[in-house]
Amino acid sequence: MREGMKRTLSALLVCASLLVVAGPPAVAVAPSPTVASPSAAYRLPALVPGLPRAVRATTRPRHIEYVPRSEVAPAGRAARCSASTGPYQRQAERYLGRQVDGRQSTGDCRAIRRFQQAHRIAPATGFAGPVTGAIVRVMRARKDPNRAGHCPALAQRTACVDLNRQLMWVQQSGRVILEPVAIRSGAPTMETRTGSYRIYLRHRHHISNLYGTRMPYAQFFDRGEALHGVYEDIFSGAGSHGCVNLTMADARRAWEVLRKGDTVYVWGRKPGV
């Protein structure tokens, strides 16, 4: 009898945890074309974090760029200007008004390095890696993030999640009320689901029932998938478990702008998944 009661109680607890992450049904959205893959001298798999772990703990930059292994900045030594062509060389050249030839030059390196320093990307060596490419995408999108018209101009607040460009912004009646920010969506086999959803649960200090990890400023929109902040660099790792990860600062701003019942519209496909 006592053993049977324990099993019943365990089942109820599991159901309760599932209720927390259950949400309303989604409206399917056809995926839009993915962004073109970068072409350059160094491909993404060949890159590693550009700062040793010990240096990261003391300098605390906003973002850590991925660089060729031979260009990892040693502790206590100033990083040299990189002569290597990064996978996002052309994107950086175009945004910074350089000649777009996809080849690193001394002038390119200096311009990219200044951009990295302005956005606290370390090491600021002028290597156009994936983090620099992501910040370039954010900056280019700020003028008109919905230029392609993928996110519907609804009367209610809408969090627009563009998996193609790994960006999110919030708009209302077509007017941007939270400018584009970088995101980290689902990793391969755990891709963030596309569709039109409503925020059904908000929890400022949520802890995942499945993974036991903290999910600050969590705003759930589909069966456990949520917008939420992360404590690590959002550009680290292959991706999330399906949630839309934001920097802590951006998650806090999204929390202040959005409300329960607001729309979350997700489309596209993350490059590489």
CATH of the domain at 159: 2.40.440.10
pLDDT tens, per residue, the chain with 273 residues:
444 444 333 433 333 333 334 444 454 444 443 343 443 355 566 788 888 776 666 666 678 999 999 898 776 567 789 999 999 999 999 999 999 999 999 999 999 999 999 999 999 999 999 999 999 999 999 999 999 999 999 999 999 999 999 999 999 999 999 999 999 999 999 999 999 999 999 999 999 988 888 999 999 999 999 999 999 888 888 899 999 999 999 999 999 999 999 999 999 999 866
Question: What domain range is 158 assigned to?
Answer: 145-267
> What's residue 211's pLDDT?
84
For residue 31, the tally of other CB atoms under 10 A from its CB is 11
Closest by Cα among 271, 272, 257, 210 to 243: 210
Indicate if 130 and 189 belong to the same structural domain. Answer: no
Q: Is residue 243 flagged as an active site residue?
A: yes
Q: How far apart are the first and last CA of the chain?
A: 49
Half-sphere exposure of 167 (CA within 13 A, CB side): 24
SS3 state of residue 220: strand
Indicate if 102 and 186 belong to the same structural domain. Answer: no
Q: Is residue 228 flagged as an active site residue?
A: yes
Q: Is residue 67 part of a domain?
A: yes
Indicate if 215 and 106 belong to the same structural domain. Answer: no
- Last residue of one domain, picked from the residues 122, 140, 158: 140
- Alpha carbons 142 and 168: distance in angstroms, whole number: 11
Rounded to 10°, the helix 130-141/106-118 angle is 70
- Alpha carbons 21 and 6: distance in angstroms, whole number: 24
Q: Of these residues, 109, 151, 160, 243, which one is catalytic? A: 243
Q: Is residue 260 part of a domain?
A: yes
> What's residue 114's pLDDT?
97
- Last residue of one domain, picked from the residues 121, 140, 159: 140
Q: Of these residues, 63, 160, 206, 228, which one is catalytic? A: 228
Indicate if 183 and 124 belong to the same structural domain. Answer: no
- Alpha carbons 146 and 98: distance in angstroms, whole number: 26
